[in-house]
Amino acid sequence: MTTGRIVGASVPRKEGRDKLTGKAQYVDDMQLPGMLYGATVRSRIPRGKIKKITFGPGIAWDEFTVVSAKDIPGKNCIALIVDDQSCLADGIVNHQEEPILLLAHADRHALPKAVDSIAIEYDPLPAIFTIEESESQSQIIWGTDNTFKTYLVEKGDVDGIWERADHIVEGEYTTGAQEQLYIENNGMIAAFDPQHGVTVWGSLQCPFYIHKALMSLCNLPADKVRVVQMETGGAFGGKEEYPSIIAGHAALLAIKSGCPVKIIYDRMEDMAATTKRHPSRTRHRTAVTKDGKILGGEIEFTIDGGAYTTLSPVVVSRGAIHAGGPYYRPNVRIRARAMATNAPPHGAFRGFGAPQSLFAVERHMNRIAQTVGLTPVEIRQRNFLKPGQTTTTEQAIRENIDLEKLLDRALQLSDYHSMKKRFAGENATGPAKKGIGIAAFLHGAGFTGSGERNLGSVVEVEACADGSVRVLVSSTEFGQGTKTVLCQIVAETLRIGYEDVTIAQADTDDVPNSGPTVASRTVMVVGKLVQSAALGIKQTLTAAGVIRPAYSAQEFRAACRAYVAAHGALRSSARFEAPSDVFWDDEKYRGEAYAAFAWAVYIAAVTVDMTTYSVSVDDFLALQEVGKVLHPVLARGQIAGGVAQAIGYTLYEKVVWQNGRMQNSQMTNYIMPTSVDLPPMRVFFEEMGNIHGAFGAKGIGELPMDGPAPAILNAVEDALQVSFDSIPLLPEDIYEKLASEAVVETEFR
Amino acid sequence: MVQYAAGKLPARKLVSVWNLPELRRIETFPDEIRIGAGCTYTDLRQNAIIRREFQLLANAAGWTGGIANQNRGTLGGNIANASPAADSLPALLAYEAELVLVSVRGERRVPYVNFHTAYKKTKHAADELIRAVCLRRRFLDYFCYSRKVGARRAQAISKVCVAALGRLKGPIVQDLRVAVGSVAPVPLRLVETELVVKGKAIDQALLSVAGRTATAEISPIDDIRSTMRYRAKVTGNLVAEFLQKLAASAKNE
Amino acid sequence: MKAANSSRSKSEISFIVNGDRKTMRVHPMERLLDVLRQELGLTGAKEGCGEGECGSCSVLLDGILVNSCLIPVLQAKDSVILTIEGLAGIAELNCLQEAFLECGGAQCGICTPGMILAASYLLQHKPQATMEDIREGLSGNLCRCTGYSQIFEAVAEASRRKATA
């Protein structure tokens, strides 16, 4: 493991000053001359045929640009994985809030009334809203069986384990939708001219996803589409695929009107129309010996994908691979399915399927412990994966990971045993019930299986005429610290100052395709590429004889200046190449699913108020192994922020659906935690050593989303001695369960 | 403003009453205080007399929104908006507030207790302005209990909120007032519950009767924020909690 | 998208923002937020929710912390307004901003201007703010990135530095 001057130090965030002084430019801060404002006319039913569209009276329609599916120059779809999602509905709608028409006008105040005065008549079709309705196939709404994707993971001989089992433990666990709730709403500006084609500026994660979607939608070649990321006010996956739709809409309006067009969603539109975390259902059936060893079992993992495929096949894949948790299962069969419903498509959100299936397995471990008569600590200790053992996809653990040690340290740091004892005593008499719960988990970094190989990401590093060094990647900054950490890696690699390294704005005209900014892959995968591209610069300068092997930062700057003056621009690029010894079988879903896993043990202490049945998290301990921590402040920020978002997922954030439409699409009634709702967060890192990413770093961003939900529900179980297997867990749910189990008497205390 | 900006209020002439000095005063008299309807929650929280003698109101002011909302939201606005979930209204019921209404026809003083007639409906005439809220200064020796149950600890619209006052003589409840929000079309004083408790000593049986009576007296609904069953049960729990604390307050003295 | 009155009768309104007097003709029910952003190009105040829930549009109006999305501009007439752009000099950061930068108080940055103004208002009234004061003082400013803990650290750090400065 390398300990560097810059890597491992908490240098100031690259774009920090601009953000602190209000100078940072987000898309809604940008104006173009002659710009129009765009708005979207959306479906108000979950499924049906469009019969008639009437433009109401009292509106000067000749002042508006109106775009319908007929105006699309290319293919009417959002190019992603499967071409089943229209950019604008053409004759049929399959979910509430599906875009049908687009309007643009110079006065943004003129738009809401115009949108409201368009009457759309439908022939409604029956709609379905749950996984169970979709499975029953009472209505076929997608394909032949409502199924977007299935996976089967098989290891060993599951059918042979049941008769050897001392216990067979079954459980069903469900999770709800969750809104990403980035504080900056989605937005895009598009401009078009025949010579340069379409340019869009926006709030986004993945410039080249949008680039690809616009080429197909607008029927333009690659060099006539340009995507520029503006400062992006939070994303969390919510700006992974949906921005392609908004960019497409803005581009269509710009092409038709001949003017630049800005579309900024307000909060209600953003919450009601854009993607959320997939609701899920996981069923476990596990064979266990009397001393608590897992022999194996079956796991069925099903997600509600909403009305179109979007990213659901990938989400269900990641959820399936994580469904076994950090435990050794000699025999396992995992069936995973993404089902269609008439909800707006669910999409990417930090964790990407893993929070759902890990919630299930970590609740199930507690259920197994109870059945066998072990503690939650013992059941985990007896089944943890060890180096040399294999995961459910038969990926051998080659990292030097010691989960028992990780758990021991977490127990010590949280004072678990004495708290547990104290709570048991206090709960006997007090009006509030306290409990403590554990979750142990893992998160695979980077794309799954052959994903990184297929992406073939490219990065560039440039020596500039002023002597500085510039990083060129399509990896985007939306709060995580991408810009800072990639610059740190280059500065460390070249032994120059952090301030000597800059990073280009993510503009598809300037930067190579380093892949999407998702899947905890940026530091580990892109960072490693940036490191090798930086070395290329040094090699070129050395070969040209402008630097000596031992050089100062000042000499390096001089060398860059000299080289560029003599030879012109110097760019060094690096392309991802999969190691030859990595095996992955896409058919059988077997092999090296991820280049590395991050590992963690989280411990939550809670109080359940028996007057209001509300749960408060009193203390939260997050201990993780993420390889080398390149920037301690940013890393802690990722963990604390992820834990907060996950506490919201667990205890506060419920999407209230009615007829397939979100009813609480406002910040006042979709409840995310405020500054007074969160516990002190104690974040610790363990560095057990790994060889994967730049300077030994692994992915970190999604990990903290996985553990809090099961840790908290395990703590609630400890407090009340009643099990809850569904999130979000609201006070109303606790009351109903306690009442039904007669824990709460109908009398008042 | 939110409704207006979203185009949901019909365009019509509006008059700004923000920051009129006449509405922004808290006047103190020997037997009452008159709180100008334009006083903000921050004004209420910072006023020494309100903090000492009308704790329920000071607490409620601190529940409302965040600091920026408390700097702008007014007591008069809260009354006129007439939401059954308004945080400060149960306190006004418990203190048996009176309102001063003003119009070109002159001033009139009305008891607050029946001011809200139905969901979002009040007794004030179209040409009337709420000028002030008057509170009698006779609650210093009462035990105060207030609690808001919201979906989170700040910036929440309540699922249930309670403001209650009680006074014991020996073990006997000599006087009490219990008011609740979010569990009926209007903020509600629990008159029946008060009756069954008044004149009795607080014991386990009384807690049960009081909780049951409270539950029967309210008419909560299922909505986007909570359920009828939850609100009913928690209202009863809160009434019981109030009485327990009231009983304990005697022991502490 | 926010619609105000479509028959947009405008009046002249004047106030001082970040030390400069500004006079403009706007509809009196225009939101202060929109006037700052669109008329004056002060885009540091952000719209997160449009209903006074998230605090991203916080500014100081006559020294008082407010949500500018809830203020009809007529109520800002003749007032003194401070936005994030006016908080520090052009080149340097103030004590709070420095502490935010060091402690990781800003991630995506969209809540940051409002958060800093709320923190600044808090420390002005409670220079020795306790953790409880900080939590309460910032409870109207939602942050989705940080889980608030590094924001608390930054505010506490700024408070310490001011005390010893």
Q: Where are the domains of chain B?
A: 16-136, 143-252
User: Cβ contact (<8 Å) for A637 and C107?
Assistant: yes
Q: Where are the domains of chain C?
A: 11-86, 95-164
List, for residues A558-606, the tens digit of each pLDDT value: 999 999 999 999 999 999 998 887 889 999 999 999 999 999 999 999 9
List, for residues A386-432, the tens digit of each pLDDT value: 999 999 999 999 988 999 999 999 999 999 999 999 999 999 888 89
List, for residues C76-88, the tens digit of each pLDDT value: 999 999 999 999 8
Q: What average pLDDT does chain B have?
A: 95
CB nearest C142 (choices: A183, A266, A634)? A183
User: Does residue A563 sit in the same domain as residue A648?
Assistant: no
A539's tokens: 């090699």
CATH 3.10.20.30 matches C11-86:
yes
**How close B174 gets to chain C, by Cα (Å)?**
37
User: Cβ contact (<8 Å) for B72 and C70?
Assistant: yes
User: Which chain B residues are closer than 8 Å to C8 by Cβ?
Assistant: none
User: Cα separation of C56 and A22, whole Å?
Assistant: 11
Of A553, A575, A597, which closes a domain? A575
A234 CB within 8 Å of a chain B CB: no
pLDDT band at A749 (very low <50, low <70, confident <90, very high): low
* Beta strands A590-591; A584-585: pairing state: antiparallel
User: Cα separation of A165 and A290, whole Å?
Assistant: 8
User: Cβ contact (<8 Å) for A641 and C50?
Assistant: no
User: Does residue A306 sit in the same domain as residue A370?
Assistant: yes
Angle of helix A708-720 relative to helix A731-740, nearest 10 degrees, comes to: 40
Burial track A586-610 (b if 16+ CB lie within 10 A, e otherwise): eeebbbbbbbbbbbbbbbbbbbbbb
User: Does residue A380 sit in the same domain as residue A527?
Assistant: no
User: Cα separation of C165 and C161, whole Å?
Assistant: 6
Positive or negative torsion for Cα A487, A493, A498, A504: negative
Give the CATH number of the domain where residue A477 resides: 3.30.365.10
Cβ within 8 Å of C, B 126-155? 153-155
Q: What average pLDDT does chain A have?
A: 96
Looking at the structure of chain A, the number of domains it has is: 3
Q: Give the chain A residue nearest C43 (alpha carbons).
A: A29
A728 cis-preceded (ω within 30 degrees of 0) = yes
List, for residues A699-727, the tens digit of each pLDDT value: 999 999 999 999 999 999 999 999 999 99
Asked if residues A95 and A310 have their Cβ atoms less than 8 Å apart, the reply is: no
Looking up tokens 């000299």 gives: A562
Q: Over the Cα atoms of chain A, what is R_g?
A: 26
pLDDT band at B234 (very low <50, low <70, confident <90, very high): very high
User: Cβ contact (<8 Å) for C102 and A12?
Assistant: yes
**How close A747 gets to chain B, by Cα (Å)?**
6
User: Does residue A114 sit in the same domain as residue A236?
Assistant: yes
Angle, CA A384 vertex, CA A378 and CA A388 arms, to 5°: 150
User: Cβ contact (<8 Å) for B224 and A677?
Assistant: no
User: Cα separation of A251 and A328, whole Å?
Assistant: 50
The SS3 of residue A420 is helix
User: Does residue A495 sit in the same domain as residue A533?
Assistant: yes
**How close B148 gets to chain A, by Cα (Å)?**
10
- ipTM reported for the complex, 2 dp: 0.96
Which pLDDT belongs to residue C4?
Answer: 44
- Greatest Cα pair distance, chain C, in angstroms, is 55
Name A86's Cβ contacts closer than 8 Å, sequence gap at least 6: A69, A76, A77, A78, A98
CATH class of C95-164: mainly alpha
Asked whether residue A187 is domain-assigned, the answer is: no
pLDDT band at C2 (very low <50, low <70, confident <90, very high): very low
User: Cβ contact (<8 Å) for A652 and B152?
Assistant: yes
User: Which chain A residues are closer than 8 Å to C104 by Cβ?
Assistant: 10, 13, 633-634, 636-637
B81 CB within 8 Å of a chain C CB: no
User: Cα separation of A165 and A604, whole Å?
Assistant: 32
What residue numbers bound the domain in which A63 lies? 31-125+194-263
Looking up tokens 């002005």 gives: C124
User: Which chain C residues are closer than 8 Å to A17 by Cβ?
Assistant: 93, 101
User: Does residue A561 sit in the same domain as residue A605?
Assistant: no
User: Cα separation of B197 and A374, whole Å?
Assistant: 49
Asked whether residue A721 is domain-assigned, the answer is: yes
A–B interface: beta-carbon pairs under 8 A = 72
Burial track A157-193 (b if 16+ CB lie within 10 A, e otherwise): ebeebeeebeeebebebbbbbbbbbbbbbbbbbbbbe
Asked whether residue A213 is domain-assigned, the answer is: yes
Q: What is the DSSP letter of A647?
A: H
User: Does residue A439 sit in the same domain as residue A479?
Assistant: no
**How close B163 gets to chain C, by Cα (Å)?**
22
Question: Which of B12, B72, B81, B152 is most worth mutating to test chain C (most C CB atoms within 10 A of its CB)?
Answer: B72
User: Does residue A229 sit in the same domain as residue A314?
Assistant: no
CATH class of B16-136: alpha beta
User: Does residue A202 sit in the same domain as residue A230?
Assistant: yes
User: Does residue A405 sit in the same domain as residue A455?
Assistant: no
- For the structural domain made of B143-252, what CATH number should be given? 3.30.390.50
pLDDT band at A29 (very low <50, low <70, confident <90, very high): very high
